[in-house]
Amino acid sequence: MGPFETSESCQEWKEEYELPFDVIPDEDGTIFKKLSNGWVPYTLLVGSDGKVVLWESEFEEEGFAAVVEKLFQEPTDAQAEPEAAVRAVPQRAGRGLGANIVILGGGAGGLVAAHHLRRKLSGRDRIILIDRSPNHLFQSSLLWHAVGQRRADQIQRPLSDLTRKGVEFINEEVVEIDAASRQVRTKSQAIDFDFLIVSLGAQLRPDEVEGFDEMALNLYDLEGTAKINAALDSFSGGTVGVLVTDMPFKCPAAPYEAALLVESFLRKKGVRDRSEIHIYTPEHQPMPVTGTAMGEAITKVLHKRNIQYHPLFTFEKMDPSERTIIKSGGEPQKVDLLLAIPPHRAPEVVRSSGLIGSSGWMHTDPHTMATEHEGVYAIGDVNSIRLANGKNLPMAGVFAHYEAGVVAERILAEIEGKPATATFNGKGYCWLELGDGKAGIASGNFYAEPEPAVRLYPPMHPWHWGKVLFEKWWLRHWF
């Protein structure tokens, strides 16, 4: 059992479900930390032949149920499977006609893929980007927006500007993806594709948390960070909470950056001595995928700034009337100002189109980003890639960026009839904003074995200015 259980509760659980085996507690969390993805334990499913048929570091009931169903198929189904698995490879459009390449999502991955493909393909090939939002938002700058260091117009660009570069833009929501018939549909039209890049990101679901809108301010959207800035401007002291409601979530450094930036803001405002700052997270350490050393380094920074850190906080509910947040089996925590990260889910169109795996996200080859559907790729936060240590590749824009380049090169090679050799190597980096014009940076190989080889470079002013310059370059280069 998990780190919150005792010998007594384990015995009660064993008796309640009449289990024929012993159930033991892991009270200090030693086993939990080794066999979990920062919070969620691994899900193992063993077939009747004793072989592991599923090993996921996240759990999603719909995907898990599909795997279980396959285990109980009749033998005739199993015998027919090889023939059914033979899928005719669709005939690609000839060079005289050109290819239709459809990109879903105008975030980091979709933007980079569209740019690379348009730059290298002829005008005969159509690049079509579809997004329900009219604007590209540079997500990393939302934290600066929250503390008044950026205006909304400074961190957005119109996706329609891509038309000047030869990329077609459709400002509509995708309502269906039909991988079999090679077509996507919006509310007004159907678009055929030869290649499809799904870069829809993770869908934020604050509606899954009762009381979220009444009590919490969303740290991960533009409206939410505008409200955070207004609240901080009028804040005269009290308790500020930064809450991670669920796992996984994108930009794993963000809750820690938010707390540090708020601490700096309140100090400069002169109300820090009348304020407390708390981080509540289900993780057992900051950025658990990167290893113990990284977590300890960030924890030391938080301690130095007198920011209270509450790991293994399994959030259960909010009580807006009392201004409290409550964890499973825990005492209510009073907060005057709550900055929260809502649950993340695969977009509804991905789920309804039957493209999710057992983890609740799209599954891809970790090196090519190819899905099981011919010519269909998934990049960025919408996919799920398991690392050598059993944890998942973090949801971060840098990975979407590099994955997009790999997918673009592979599509280009296939169109030109050449071997596709481009692969993603798992390397990436992440800034950690500390406020006061300083930042650290973590960089390394997340595909290294047995653990990601990631190093945190000491905080300094040049790293902060490096992030500022990257923001300026990004918004200018792609538009």
Q: What is the pLDDT along the chain (479 residues), one digit of tens a residue?
A: 555 577 887 788 777 777 777 878 876 666 665 555 555 555 666 666 666 656 555 555 556 666 666 666 644 444 333 333 333 334 444 445 789 999 999 999 999 999 999 999 988 999 999 999 999 999 999 999 999 999 999 999 999 999 999 999 999 999 999 999 999 999 999 999 999 999 999 999 999 999 999 999 999 999 999 999 999 999 999 999 999 999 999 999 999 999 999 999 999 999 999 999 999 999 999 999 888 888 999 999 999 999 999 999 999 999 999 999 999 888 999 999 999 999 999 999 999 999 998 888 999 999 999 999 999 999 999 999 999 988 899 999 999 999 999 999 999 999 999 999 999 999 999 999 999 999 999 999 999 999 999 998 989 999 999 999 999 999 999 99
**459: CB partners within 8 A, 6+ apart:** 301, 432, 434, 438, 439, 440
The alpha carbons of the chain give a radius of gyration, in whole angstroms, of: 23
**Location of structure tokens 């930036």:** 261
Residue 321: Cβ within 10 Å count: 9
Instruction: Give yes or no for a contact between 91 and 97, defined as CB atoms under 8 angstroms apart.
Output: no
Secondary structure (H, E, C), the chain: CCCCCCHHHHHHHHHHCCCCCCCCCCCCCHHHHHCEECCEECEEEECCCCCEEEEECCCCHHHHHHHHHHHCCCHHHHHHHHHHHCCCCCCCCCCCCCCEEEEECCCHHHHHHHHHHHHHCCCCCEEEEECCCCEEECHHHHHHHHCCCCCHHHHEEEHHHHHHHCCEEECCCEEEEECCCCEEEECCCEEECCEEEECCCCEECHHHCCCHHHHEEECCCHHHHHHHHHHHHCCCCEEEEEEECCCCCCCCCHHHHHHHHHHHHHHHHCCHHHEEEEEECCCCCCCHHHCHHHHHHHHHHHHHCCCEEECCCCEEEEECCCCEEEECCCCCEECCEEEEECCEECCHHHHHCCCCCCCCCEECCCCCCECCCCCEEECHHHEECECCCCCECCCCHHHHHHHHHHHHHHHHHHHCCCCCCCCCCCEEEEEEEEECCEEEEEEEECCCCCCCEEEEEEEEHHHHHHHHHHHHHHHHHCC
Residue 163: Cβ within 10 Å count: 12
Could you tell me the fold of the domain covering 211-345? FAD/NAD(P)-binding domain (3.50.50)
Cα–Cα distance for residue pair 242/307, rounded to 1 Å: 10
Exposed / middle / buried, residue 25 (Cβ in 10 Å: 0-12, 13-18, 19+) = middle
pLDDT of residue 251: 94
What number of CA atoms fall less than 13 Å from residue 18's CA on the CB side?
0
User: CA dihedral in degrees (286, 360, 129, 341; nearest 10)?
Assistant: -40
pLDDT of residue 58: 54
pLDDT of residue 85: 33
Instruction: Give yes or no for a contact between 204 and 341, defined as CB atoms under 8 angstroms apart.
Output: no
Cα–Cα distance for residue pair 391/341, rounded to 1 Å: 20
pTM for this model (two decimals): 0.84
Cα–Cα distance for residue pair 424/407, rounded to 1 Å: 9
Q: Which two tokens stand for residue 374?
A: 């011919």
Fold match between 100-202+346-428 and 211-345? Answer: yes
List the chain domain ranges: 1-29, 35-86, 100-202+346-428, 211-345
Could you tell me the fold of the domain covering 100-202+346-428? FAD/NAD(P)-binding domain (3.50.50)
**237: CB partners within 8 A, 6+ apart:** 271, 274, 275
